[in-house]
Amino acid sequence: MLEIFDGVRDITMLSTMVRLLVAVLLGGAVGLERSYKNRPAGFRTHILVCLGATIASMTGIYLYLNMKLPTDISRLGAQVVSGLGFIGGGTIIVVNNRKIKGLTTAAGLWSCGIIGLAVGAGFYEGAIMATVLVLLAETLFSVLGNKITHNAPFKIMLEYNDKNALNHVMRYCKNKRMAISNLEATGKRDAFMSVYSVVLTVRPREKVDFEKITNHIDEIEGIIDVEIVR
């Protein structure tokens, strides 16, 4: 541990001021990055979360050490950890094509709360190192993550009159390393024969040739029509 913080580890007026100030600085540092990227929870939100967690942690310690109450020091901190889940959940939204946004912000808020608990407990070194790592994860690691290539899911819309045709299509997808994440039956109409309609949501693991996939499925016996929607 760093000796520089030894004088402000006990619950005193000086240490209280130092801890709250450190909480503002560390929470603000994480919040600045989120505000720069126009995320739902920004500068002020992260400061408030970190401050609240800090004072909760300090209160638990104060009640036990100064007030001599038979209480669990970690009880308030545990409630903060669970309560942060509700705050973080408010930043998570589902946008077009069922894509989820806000997970990083929610995780950042949760981490910011834990950093506040560490500051309130006098664990300054851990709080500072955690803040640096959170900022690295949200900046540098974000750039690296964007460079990781991934293949976007697509939909295969089928019309067929032979129930075995769907099994052949699904087996073909499996052989081509394409995972089927959703299957939706869109309807059935009766004329001279039964015609079934299905939409498959497929997640490829490698680059795919959509024209080749369409031509292959179209040749399967029982397939009336096939269309790929990207």
pLDDT in tens, 69-128: 777 778 888 888 888 887 877 777 766 656 677 888 888 889 999 999 999 998 999 999
What topology is assigned to 154-229 in CATH?
A: Alpha-Beta Plaits (3.30.70)
Phi, psi dihedral angles at 80 (to 5 degrees): -65, -45
In order, the DSSP letters of 5-56 are: GGGGSSSSHHHHHHHHHHHHHHHHHHHHHHHHTT-SS-HHHHHHHHHHHHHH
pLDDT at 63 over 80: yes
Highest mean pLDDT of the ranges 37-46, 68-77, 89-98, 213-222: 213-222
Residue with tokens 């490698």: 206
Distances (CA, A) of 222 to 1, 97, 169, 182: 72, 30, 11, 21
**End-to-end alpha-carbon separation of the chain, Å?**
55
Angle at 131 between CA 127 and CA 134, to 5 degrees: 135
Which helix (DSSP H) or strand (DSSP E) does residue 64 occupy? helix 43-65
Query: Domain ranges in the chain?
Result: 3-146, 154-229
Cβ-contact 9, 133 below 8 angstroms: no
Instruction: Note the pTM of the prediction, 2 decimals.
Output: 0.65
